[in-house]
Amino acid sequence: MYQILTNYFGSFQTELPSLFVGILIISMVVGFYLLTKGGDLLSDHCSNLAKAIGIPSVVVGLTVVSIATSAPELFTSIAAVTSGAKGLILGNIIGSNIANIGLILGISLLIKPINTQNAVSSVQCIILIALSSVFVVYLIIHPLRSLDWVAGVALLIFIFLYLIFLTVNALKNRRSKILVPPEISEESSTPIFVSCLMVLLATIALWAGSDSLVFGAKNLASIIGVPEELIGFTLVAIGTSLPELAASVSLTKKGEFAMLLGNIVGSNIFNISLVGGVAGVLGPITVSTKFAWIDYLSLLILTTLLAYWIKGKNLEKVHGILLIGLYLAATTATWVFNS
């Protein structure tokens, strides 16, 4: 898809530059839409398939759905590697995690106060802080400031063990509490062949959307003369976080605070370990911005703040305003110093 777009519209850059910019913007909008719809379809129908073959709902939620919600970031990163736009990847990973906390949780708090009591276990918070810190430190101390195959393999091993840990604990808790998920009637359930078809369509949508997004983002960064990381940190990160934003607003209105916070924490863990792991193996991914520490510091500050707040604190609108303010400050600082 990326090559098709390049072959068809590449000549417009010199012949019709104004039209080419418009095409890039449309390409990014279409990419955002396909990634959002593809992620939703993949999440829903992978869940249906998993339940159809007898996997418990709680395990589906913690594993299959969690991976599916990171699919837009994953497909975008793969497309960025194959198209030579590697600078988008780290910006997308770090920017998505910052957006999940600062923007998505911030907007959710403007809608309704959130009670974090018993919402997310302290173990999950510790894992997120430790993972984010190790990720940042590795990028800082690496001689080439790169995410290479060594880090990629380590991250993939971590996410594999993490999934096993989640599954075992979920099954243990399910048995101890004798929780029985509600049965889904045959009439209301989706046929397996339909779910298989939808998973295939979702994969195609994610592939096409990621290529379309990367085509627009890479060329737009080249035209305006800024590092690809900045586009990845803002436009691409926000775009690939749209599924989380829509889900979070819905969960907030319903008062499903545990699911909301669990989705944010889980999404951030998967973004670093799964997306970062795959990118590292396909890489290396090298940092090119001069002041990358701004992004790293923003990630650590917001992650630590999130972990501290969700230990039982009642979060109000003022906390949402603070989170949005920190997000805007981080975005402004990285653009001013790195562009």
Rounded to 10 degrees, the C-alpha dihedral 268/243/295/107 comes to -100
Of 153, 123, 140, which is closest to residue 269 (Cα–Cα)? 123
pLDDT at 134: 95
What is this structure's pTM?
0.79
CA dist 299 and 317 (Å) reads 22
3-state secondary structure the chain: CHHHHHHHHCCHHHHCHHHHHHHHHHHHHHHHHHHHHHHHHHHHHHHHHHHHCCCCHHHHHHHHHHHHHCHHHHHHHHHHHHCCCCHHHHHHHHHHHHHHHHHHHHHHHHHCCEECCCCCCHHHHHHHHHHHHHHHHHHHHCCCCEECHHHHHHHHHHHHHHHHHHHHHHHHHHHHHCCCCCCCCCCCCCCHHHHHHHHHHHHHHHHHHHHHHHHHHHHHHHHHCCCHHHHHHHHHHHHHCHHHHHHHHHHHHHCCHHHHHHHHHHHHHHHHHHHHHHHHHHCCEECCCCCCHHHHHHHHHHHHHHHHHCCCCEECHHHHHHHHHHHHHHHHHHHHHHC
pLDDT at 182: 46
Of 324, 265, 331, which is closest to residue 298 (Cα–Cα)? 331
pLDDT at 110: 93
The half-sphere exposure of 186 on its side-chain side, counting CA atoms within 13 A, is 0
CA dist 315 and 49 (Å) reads 37
CA dist 121 and 173 (Å) reads 13
pLDDT at 253: 81
Contacting residues for 190 by C-beta, under 8 A, at least 6 apart: 45, 48, 198
pLDDT at 56: 58
Class of domain 2-338: mainly alpha
pLDDT at 33: 83
Contact 187, 12 (CB under 8 A): no
pLDDT at 5: 67
pLDDT at 324: 95
Which of the residues in the chain have pLDDT under 70? Answer: 1-13, 39, 43, 46-47, 50-51, 53-69, 170-171, 173-189, 243
CA dist 299 and 133 (Å) reads 9
CA dist 120 and 259 (Å) reads 9
Structure tokens at 245: 């934003």
Of 320, 308, 303, 335, which is closest to residue 111 (Cα–Cα)? 320
pLDDT at 174: 59
The half-sphere exposure of 111 on its side-chain side, counting CA atoms within 13 A, is 18
